[in-house]
Structure 1
Amino acid sequence: MKRSAWIVVVSLFAGLLMPAPAAAAAARTPQDCAAALDCTAEEINLMSMPDRLELVRLMQRGPAAELGATDRWRNIEGVIMFFRDHGMGAPGTWVSYVDAGIVEGIERGIAIALGRSEDEFGNPGSRGWAIYLTRLRAGELTARNVHDKAWSEAEQAATDHGVAIAEKVHGIKPVAAERRFFLYSEFYRWTLRNRPAVLDLLAVYGGLIHPDLARQRVPFLDWFTDVRESVPARKGCEVAYATARLDPIAGLFSTVDLLLAYLPELFEEYNAAR
């Protein structure tokens, strides 16, 4: 056999013995990440939305349960369900990276609160979630407005980090549908941080949205902002997906504009869920 032929044969044989780089670096599963709590945003980005949904659920049933947080990210589940149902958030997209930053923040926050590690993975949301979980376990977040503000601040920090990963690290900008969802999520987090102000606005403007809203503003807001339920977040995403004309980040519309735009359909969903 000629020397060149021998080289080909030896190369092929060596290839069979040596694992390919992709195989050597196999993607981690939701079970891996929930157990170790050390999957990076880049690793989470490689997961499908059904896998991320399973990861969030496993963390709540597993390590977060030690901190009394068995149901504190059900609304995140609702958002991921929305992405799954609409085919949004494939690996490498803007939605995927933003969502990966959010899930990473929750994961590392649990790890820090449990005393497993102090590494935030460069995600400011990690420390925010650790503080939230520590306060939750200590019984400091029993008042609804206090709880929702703490939750929203941690979520906002993790979300901003996810946006930075997408836009500054990978140079990916959101497409129109992704932008619509993000604007709604900003409004949602603002609502959690400003419960007294929202209740005041609903008292004044609720009648313009629905005849019963001003009277039912407290139970409605409780439903809308309940992080322990997936349905309000999922329905809210559907409303946001259909509403493309507002831009609260740019400051072009007032809070009243947002309330009048988003809440009519949400109040209908609230009435249907009762």
Structure 2
Amino acid sequence: MQRFGWLVALVFLTGLTTPVQASAAAREPLRCATELDCTAAEIDLMTMAQRLDFLRALQSGPAAELGASDRWRNIEGVIAFFRDRGLGAPGTWVSHVDAAILEGVERGIAIALGRSTDGFGNPGSARWAAYLTALSRGELTTRDAHDRAWGEAEQASTEHGVALAERVHGLRPTTVERRFFQFSELYRWTLRNRPVAQDLLLLYGVLVHPQLAVGRVSFLDWFTDVSESAPSYKGCAIAYSYARLDPISGTIGTVELLLLYLPELFGEFRATR
């Protein structure tokens, strides 16, 4: 009887936990965008195509109430690139990092709307909420102020994602993923340090093309425009090609990385003019 009692208890406990797990696995992207409470673990279960639907629904739905209906189109470009190349399958290093970024955006929206105060342990949540609150109040009127606030929020979410992937799940990026990640770090650095990036383009841009130093502001406006998906998609394609060819050996500085990607990036920019 005692052994039977333990079996009954085990069945009862299993009955309590299984529906929760099944519910988490069954959550649809549009439902997550409506309820704003899907965790990074749940987002990790989504395909990249589903995450694209999720992010677009966030922007057209709750984020639009804060005047942010197009503030993550650049992330759309990254996710679309992952989708098209078959990268970031659930449970991978890329997937966990990406899921944390989307979780931060989602929870930031929920906090900014006053629907919650819980950031789910994601430091990016509070930064996204602060960004959205300032944006809705009309405080981020210059590109420097806007891009710095946006970049700081994504950086915090990204670092949390790396910690989740590596410390919690024990994963490490592949060599190609690590090189590719360096490009994303450069992108966020540029957002957070726009005046410095302009100075670097003035100093080194002429090495790439005479027009780059002169048109550096327009180029940066294009490259860091969070309301457009094409620049980030094209930037990802360039970065991934270089990462696979292994032109990066070891750790290189911001200037070296900038000069590595600039020729093709500037070529893409000129094609849009």
Shift of 1:259: 1.7
- Residue 179 of structure 2 is aligned to residue 180 of structure 1: yes
**What's 2:92 paired with?**
93
Determine the C-alpha separation between the residues in 2 that align with 1:24 and 1:201. 50
Local SS of the residue matching 1:214: helix
TM-score of the aligned structures, taking structure 2 as reference length: 0.89
**What's 1:106 paired with?**
105
TM-score of the aligned structures, taking structure 1 as reference length: 0.89
Query: What value does the CA root-mean-square deviation take over the aligned residues?
Result: 1.7
**What's 1:236 paired with?**
235
Determine the C-alpha separation between the residues in 2 that align with 1:255 and 1:89. 26
* 1:1-274 alignment, distance < 5 Å: 26-244=25-243, 245-246=247-248, 252-274=251-273
Determine the C-alpha separation between the residues in 2 that align with 1:196 and 1:24. 47
Q: Which amino acid aligns with 1:261?
A: L
Q: Larger helix proportion, structure 1 or 2?
A: 2
Determine the C-alpha separation between the residues in 1 that align with 2:186 and 2:44. 25
Relative to structure 1, the CA distance from residue 159 to residue 231 in structure 2 (aligned partners, 3 Å threshold; closer, same or farther) is same
Q: Which amino acid aligns with 1:88?
A: L
Q: Which amino acid aligns with 2:252?
A: F
CA contact (8 A) 2:49 2:83 kept: yes
Determine the C-alpha separation between the residues in 2 that align with 1:70 and 1:24. 28
Determine the C-alpha separation between the residues in 2 that align with 1:23 and 1:216. 53
Determine the C-alpha separation between the residues in 2 that align with 1:24 and 1:261. 46
Determine the C-alpha separation between the residues in 1 that align with 2:175 and 2:84. 17
CA contact (8 A) 1:205 1:214 kept: yes
Determine the C-alpha separation between the residues in 2 that align with 1:259 and 1:92. 31
Q: Which has the larger radius of gyration?
A: 1
Deviations 1:95-117 (A, max 9, x none): 00000000000000000000000
**What's 1:15 paired with?**
none
Deviations 1:162-199 (A, max 9, x none): 11111011001011222122111000000111111111
More displaced, 212-221 or 173-182? 173-182
Local SS of the residue matching 1:213: helix
Unaligned runs of 5+ in 1: 1-17
Shift of 1:239: 1.2
Give identity over the alignment, percent. Answer: 66
Relative to structure 1, the CA distance from residue 219 to residue 36 in structure 2 (aligned partners, 3 Å threshold; closer, same or farther) is same
Unaligned runs of 5+ in 2: 1-14
How many residue pairs match? The answer is: 254
CA contact (8 A) 1:27 1:43 kept: no
Shift of 1:201: 1.1
Q: Which amino acid aligns with 1:240?
A: A
Determine the C-alpha separation between the residues in 2 that align with 1:52 and 1:24. 18
Local SS of the residue matching 1:105: helix
Determine the C-alpha separation between the residues in 1 that align with 2:208 and 2:39. 43
**What's 2:12 paired with?**
none
Shift of 1:243: 2.0
Deviations 1:203-258 (A, max 9, x none): 111110112111111101100000000011111111111223337xx7x4232212
Shift of 1:25: 5.1
Determine the C-alpha separation between the residues in 2 that align with 1:97 and 1:30. 16
Local SS of the residue matching 1:139: coil
Relative to structure 1, the CA distance from residue 23 to residue 111 in structure 2 (aligned partners, 3 Å threshold; closer, same or farther) is closer
